[in-house]
Amino acid sequence: MSYFISKYADELAKNAAYIGTPGKGILAADESTGTIGKRLSSINVENIEENRRALRELLFTAPGALQYLSGVILFEETLYQKTASGKPFVDVLKEGGVLPGIKVDKGTVELNGTNRETFTQGLDGLAQRCQKYYEAGARFAKWRAVLKISANEPTELAIQENANGLAMYAAICQQCGLVPIVEPEILVDGSHDIQKCAAVTERVLATCYKALNDHHVMLEGTLLKPNMVTPGSDSPKVAPDVIAEYTVRALQRTVPAAVPAIVFLSGGQSEEEATLNLNAMNKLQTKKPWSLSFSFGRALQQSTLKTWAGKEENVKKAQDALLVRCKANSEATLGTYKGDAELCEGAAESLHVKDYKY
Amino acid sequence: MSAFVGKYAEELIKNAKYIATPGKGILAADESTGTIGKRLSSINVENIESNRQALRELLFTSPNALSCLSGVILFEETLYQKTSDGKPFVEILEENNVIPGIKVDKGTVEIAGTNGETTTQGFDSLGARCQQYYKAGARFAKWRAVLKIGPNEPSELAIQQNAQGLARYAIICQENGLVPIVEPEVLTDGPHDIKKCAAVTETVLAAVYKALNDHHVLLEGTLLKPNMVTPGSDSPKVAPEVIAQYTVTALRRTVPPAVPGIVFLSGGQSEEEATQNLDAMNKLEVLKPWTLSFSFGRALQQSTLKTWAGKKANVGKAQEAFLSRCKANSEATLGKYSGGSAGGLASESLFVKGYKY
């Protein structure tokens, strides 16, 4: 890491630290065209560019919401889109004090000879793409690696390949001025208990940080986007305090203090669950040298989506719903969430889809 | 858990945390018979058991010094020695809330095919030996791995071999109730600059913590004993603040927060240098999730040894010298050292090229 040389070093550290500002977090609005199509069809909305644009405009112009966000992850199409009145989304975000980010991976493919484990594509021409995204206003990037827990999984091969992929991606991003969010998601699918999830999470994170060191990535200019440590989806649920304890301990054992912030993915958790768990972590009295925040997709947008239902006349109510979740999660990053957010229809609904493919 | 949680887990966590108490540190008094011989001969004292016993008695009975210490590392012989009145050293330490520790490695040997790089011995019957030491009162252990900086060093082989060795030693200790001090010393020898030392230290520490994770070591029940990040011995010196900056940055990039304390080795630094550097680190305004303290051998004993010179009549003065260094370092762990405890002896460099323990 002392081998790291980039003209962007100071900027990367500054932006990574900003994203970790207490009270703020990330809206993950980077659903690919295919994935957003599934969301739109669940509310009977056609998957055309105008509707994708309208949804994102709804989110980014929601009054009062941007103050709770330090970053928004975008899909490539969205990076170049504008509001109905012609203002680039990137400008809307910047004016709201929100850093634009960009999803740069190209999805997963199966690893030969494994039980459907995967690695993530997207390294070809990545540097050129990152430079273009930087020019368009992006200041951070995201790359999702996926692992699963099962009788013999994750295998050493899958862990190594995904860790190496993340490290290469991260190194390239930093050379191009983008703060890499490192996302090694361990799927919640399965009947394992929370101890198993903890053990796997610790092993995976340790491998990731060794790989980042090998690839000379400057940790001060990165963020981590891990899963929370929870029981498997087919196992009995546990209280937020338990999730908090196991999660923070796993992070203490693996994530160096140089990493400024950890922004959790929500996986299949409901909006309310995700918020309560994040809140419990921030209330925990123990060593936490990184800030703990959110990078939520479904767990920020679910109620909003349902309330909108694709209708212009619902936009305001839908924006109110988004504001409720943003504010709740902002409080959760401070450990002050009282669980009293007005629950819109669907806020307590589990968002778990077995074997979810983005 | 990834970590092995055996019957000693709670005790290990408690002891590691205690050793990391702010304001306290470790006296490394574990010089092997051969090594202490060199020290004794430098003051013209014969290397016989009674002299070795007398020196350690001098240290352990120094009035008020033990309150600055949370642990003392002993060599095997010393673990079973007593004062001239017949009181076991271990009891004296325990009564003064100082945890006895034990050096368990058996020195280094060269790795064939490398340019003088080494690996550390000591695995044979290590578990059984740890059990014996636990019965004798030891509650932590120490194992020194050594790496050097050169044009092609440290090699990946040397890094891996030493990291794996440290991890295996660590888990065996934990299985037997001893908190392992993990010591991956990167020697200062060489003309390299501080940036090179930083890069190597970060690479080494990353490999060490990956190995500890692989071997299921419970980090909350360990301590780290690293080198400070400094320019090579043949390079111009830099200010304590610079050493502090590079050292703490390296540690923040590699040492997980679960580790309760970091206890630096002094290498070839003079007593005063070591204290000033430690103090600068604790003054640094940056988030440090582990305590930063000392595990000094030469840097705590040098003046004391010279003042004693093997003569009973000098014991009182020698103990005062020892107390003075203990207090200075205790203050340094709190970032409160104001300097000025440096006599001529305290500023003497203790660097020996290619130092062999």
Quote the ipTM score: 0.90
Cβ B2–A253 below 8 Å, yes or no? yes
- Tell me if A146 sits within 8 A of A120, measured CB to CB: yes
pLDDT at A358: 46
Percent of chain B with pLDDT over 90: 92
Containing structural domain, residue B45: 8-347
From the list A203, A207, A255, the residue facing B256 with the nearest CB is A255
- String of b and e for A62-74 (b: at least 16 CB within 10 Å)? beebbbbbbbbbb
CA A147 vs CA A119, A163, A233, B95, B215: distances in Å:
9, 10, 15, 52, 21
Taking only the tens place, the pLDDT of each residue in A154-196 is 999 999 999 999 999 999 999 999 999 999 999 999 999 999 9
- String of b and e for A91-124 (b: at least 16 CB within 10 Å)? ebbeeeebbbbbbbbeebeebeebeebbbbebee
Model confidence at B273: pLDDT above 50? yes
- Tell me if A155 sits within 8 A of A108, measured CB to CB: no
Taking only the tens place, the pLDDT of each residue in B242-255 is 999 999 999 999 99
Question: Which residues of chain B does A22 touch, with a Cβ-Cβ cutoff of 8 Å?
Answer: none
How many secondary structure helices (H) and strands (E) does chain B include?
12, 10
Q: Is B207 on the interface with A (CB under 8 A)?
A: yes
Taking only the tens place, the pLDDT of each residue in B254-270 is 999 999 999 999 998 99
Cβ A256–B255 below 8 Å, yes or no? yes
Q: Is B254 on the interface with A (CB under 8 A)?
A: yes
Model confidence at B343: pLDDT above 60? no
For residue B356, being part of any structural domain is answered with no
CA-CA-CA-CA dihedral for A290, A292, A295, A296, to nearest 10: 170
Pull the structure tokens for residue B345.
């002896």
Taking only the tens place, the pLDDT of each residue in B67-120 is 999 999 999 999 999 999 999 999 999 999 999 999 999 999 999 999 999 999
From the list B1, B213, B254, the residue facing A256 with the nearest CB is B254
Model confidence at B199: pLDDT above 70? yes
Contacts of A20 (CB under 8 A, 6+ apart): A70, A223, A260, A261, A263, A290, A291, A293
Gap from A209 CA to chain B (nearest CA, Å): 8
Nearest C-alpha in A relative to B220: A253
> Which of the residues B149, B160, B202, B290 would you substitute to probe the A interface, choosing the one with the greatest number of A C-beta atoms within 10 Å?
B202
> What mean pLDDT, rounded, does chain B reach?
95
Question: Which residues of chain B does A219 touch, with a Cβ-Cβ cutoff of 8 Å?
Answer: 253
Pull the structure tokens for residue B127.
């578990």
- Tell me if A198 sits within 8 A of A149, measured CB to CB: no
Q: Is B47 on the interface with A (CB under 8 A)?
A: no
CA separation for the pair B286, A336 (Å, rounded): 25
Q: Is B262 on the interface with A (CB under 8 A)?
A: no
Q: Is B260 on the interface with A (CB under 8 A)?
A: no
pLDDT at A90: 98
Gap from B353 CA to chain A (nearest CA, Å): 26
Question: How crowded is the C-beta side of B57, counted as CA atoms within 13 Å?
Answer: 18
Angle in degrees, CA A320, A324, A329, rounded to 5: 145
CA separation for the pair B240, A98 (Å, rounded): 39
DSSP string, A332-349: HHHT---S-----TTTTS
Percent of chain B with pLDDT over 70: 96
From the list A2, A206, A258, the residue facing B198 with the nearest CB is A2
Say which CATH number the domain at B155 has.
3.20.20.70
Question: How crowded is the C-beta side of B113, counted as CA atoms within 13 Å?
Answer: 4
Pull the structure tokens for residue A180.
């890499």
SS3 A173: helix
Cβ B1–A199 below 8 Å, yes or no? yes
User: What's the number of domains chain B is made of?
Assistant: 1
For residue B3, being part of any structural domain is answered with no
Nearest C-alpha in A relative to B211: A206
**What stretches of B64-196 adopt beta strand conformation (E)?**
69-74, 99-103, 108-110, 118-120, 140-147, 179-186
CA B182 vs CA A1, B10, B68, B255, B262: distances in Å:
21, 19, 22, 12, 10
For residue B268, being part of any structural domain is answered with yes
pLDDT at A339: 87
Model confidence at B19: pLDDT above 90? yes
For residue B2, being part of any structural domain is answered with no
CA separation for the pair A229, A193 (Å, rounded): 10
Question: Which residues of chain A does B260 touch, with a Cβ-Cβ cutoff of 8 Å?
Answer: none
Q: Is B3 on the interface with A (CB under 8 A)?
A: yes
Distance between first and last Cα of chain B: 37
From the list B206, B253, B258, the residue facing A253 with the nearest CB is B258
Partnered with residue B141 across adjacent β-strands are: B102, B180
Which among B84, B269, B261, B282 is positioned nearest to B180, based on CA atoms? B261
Q: In one letter, which amino acid is B328?
A: A
Q: What is the pTM of this model?
A: 0.93
For residue B253, being part of any structural domain is answered with yes
For residue B353, being part of any structural domain is answered with no
pLDDT at B200: 98
DSSP string, B14-27: HHHHHHT-TT-EEE
Residue whose tokens read 């017949």:
B86
Pull the structure tokens for residue B168.
């295996």
SS3 A4: coil
For residue B154, whether the previous peptide bond is cis, meaning omega lies within 30 degrees of 0, is: yes
User: Cα A190 to the chain's mean position, in Å?
Assistant: 21
Model confidence at B357: pLDDT above 60? no
DSSP string, B243-308: HHHHHHHHHHTTS-TT--EEEE--TT--HHHHHHHHHHHHH--S--SSEEEEEESHHHHHHHHHHH
> Which of the residues B2, B13, B230 would you substitute to probe the A interface, choosing the one with the greatest number of A C-beta atoms within 10 Å?
B2
**Axis crossing angle, helix B298-308 with helix B33-42, rounded to the nearest 10:** 50
Cβ-in-10-Å burial (0-12, 13-18, 19+) of A182 comes to buried
**What stretches of B30-135 adopt beta strand conformation (E)?**
69-74, 99-103, 108-110, 118-120
For residue B355, being part of any structural domain is answered with no
User: Cα B348 to the chain's mean position, in Å?
Assistant: 19
> Which of the residues A205, A213, A284 would you substitute to probe the B interface, choosing the one with the greatest number of B C-beta atoms within 10 Å?
A213
Type and span of the H or E element at B207: helix B194-214
Structural domains in chain A, sorted by start: 8-334 (3.20.20.70)
Cβ B3–A253 below 8 Å, yes or no? yes
Taking only the tens place, the pLDDT of each residue in A199-241 is 999 999 999 999 999 999 999 999 999 999 999 999 999 999 9
Question: Which residues of chain B does A203 touch, with a Cβ-Cβ cutoff of 8 Å?
Answer: 2, 213
Taking only the tens place, the pLDDT of each residue in B310-340 is 999 999 999 999 999 999 999 999 999 998 6
Using 50 as the pLDDT threshold, list the residues of chain A that sit under it.
1, 358
- Identify the residue with better confidence: B295 or B357: B295
Catalytic, out of B57, B225, B272, B273: B225
Chain length of chain B: 357
CA separation for the pair B174, B217 (Å, rounded): 8
Cβ-in-10-Å burial (0-12, 13-18, 19+) of B116 comes to exposed
CA separation for the pair A180, A202 (Å, rounded): 20
Q: Is B69 on the interface with A (CB under 8 A)?
A: no
For residue B297, being part of any structural domain is answered with yes
Model confidence at B347: pLDDT above 80? no
Cβ A210–B207 below 8 Å, yes or no? yes
Cβ B1–A2 below 8 Å, yes or no? no
pLDDT at B349: 76
Pull the structure tokens for residue A337.
């969430």
